């Protein structure tokens, strides 16, 4: 079967939406606030936050450049929007805004809550659409935060405790939306998936997200849809 036809078939499957699943990124962000406790932990640095405000002093985070953005929560795509959409025609015709406005396949992928996490705004901005990978360990870029960004190499090394989840999210997005992963990325994520196995917090999050999306991330583990209420 033609590869393009296979991809289209996979995309059509991905568009089968659960009744409660967000239809747009804006909807996804509103729903995401309810998936996490009112006082929770953001993704890249493990800092506590309450509402939209991050307790950067409590986790030893030191702003690299923007103190105001460092203190607010933003919603981060683990697989960046650029990777989801840049090969699609809508992106070629008008970038991300055009895809968000006109392309149903992109809209569903951009709004997928399995790929969305709360992040310190400054780190979200610094990460941009950079790929994940290994970097020489250097301390102090964001104070005590263990995530590092190399702007010249356009690469991010996340803190160890989230590397496995990142890998499993990329596997999920690749399968769900027929998004290719490079050989280098797949090898990296296979190593992270093995080295950093699923922890209870990741399974619990997978269950909560599954109840909204109508499906879990199979790379994390099974979910109980009957428990969704």
The tally of CA atoms less than 13 A away on the side-chain side of residue 50 is 2
Which distant-in-sequence residues (6+ apart) come within 8 Å of 84 by Cβ? 77, 106, 109, 110, 173, 177, 179
pLDDT confidence bin for 173, thresholds 50/70/90: very high
Place of tokens 């050989």: 183
Partners of 53 in beta bridges: 50, 72
Check whether 97 has a pLDDT greater than 60: yes
Looking at per-residue pLDDT, the higher value among 16 and 138 belongs to 138
Q: What is the mean pLDDT of residues 169-192?
A: 97
Q: Which residue has the tokens 């160890």?
A: 160
Residue range 63-68: mean pLDDT, rounded: 96
Region 19-37 average pLDDT? 90
Q: Which range of residues forms the domain containing residue 43?
A: 3-228
The predicted-structure confidence for 201-226, as pLDDT tens digits, reads as follows 999 999 999 999 999 999 999 999 99
**How big is the chain, counted in residues?**
229
Overall pTM surpassing 0.75 (yes/no): yes
Residue spans of beta strands (DSSP E) within 62-208: 73-77, 116-120, 131-132, 148-150, 155-157
Contact of 114 with 172, CB cutoff 8 Å: yes
Backbone angles phi, psi at 40, to 5 degrees: -135, -170
Asked if the model's pLDDT at residue 38 lies above 70, the reply is: no
Q: Assign residue 111 a region: left if phi > 0, alpha if psi is -120 to 50, beta otherwise?
A: alpha
pLDDT digits (tens, 9 = 90+) for 113-167: 999 999 999 999 999 999 999 999 887 899 999 999 999 999 999 999 999 999 9
Q: What does the DSSP 8-state code read for residue 129?
A: T
């Amino acid at each position: 079967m033609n590869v393009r036809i296979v991809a289209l078939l996979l995309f059509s499957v991905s568009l089968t939406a659960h009744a409660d699943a967000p239809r747009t990124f804006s909807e996804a962000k509103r729903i995401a606030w309810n998936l996490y406790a009112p006082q929770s932990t953001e993704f890249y640095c493990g800092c506590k936050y309450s509402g939209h405000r991050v307790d950067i002093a409590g986790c030893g985070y030191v702003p690299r450049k923007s103190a105001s953005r460092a203190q607010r929560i933003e919603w981060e795509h683990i697989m960046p929007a650029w990777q989801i959409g840049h090969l699609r025609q809508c992106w070629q015709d008008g970038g991300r805004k055009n895809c968000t406005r006109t392309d149903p396949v992109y809209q569903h992928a951009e709004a997928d809550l399995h790929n969305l996490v709360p992040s310190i705004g400054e780190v979200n901005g610094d990460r941009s659409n950079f790929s994940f990978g290994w970097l020489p360990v250097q301390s102090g870029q964001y104070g005590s935060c263990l995530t590092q960004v190399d702007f010249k190499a356009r690469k991010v090394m996340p803190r160890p405790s989230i590397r496995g989840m990142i890998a499993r999210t990329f596997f999920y997005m690749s399968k769900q939306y027929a998004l290719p992963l490079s050989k280098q990325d797949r090898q990296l994520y296979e190593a992270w998936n093995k080295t950093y196995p699923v922890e209870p917090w990741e399974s619990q999050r997978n269950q909560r997200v599954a109840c909204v999306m109508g499906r879990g991330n199979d790379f994390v583990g099974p979910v109980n849809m009957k428990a969704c209420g």
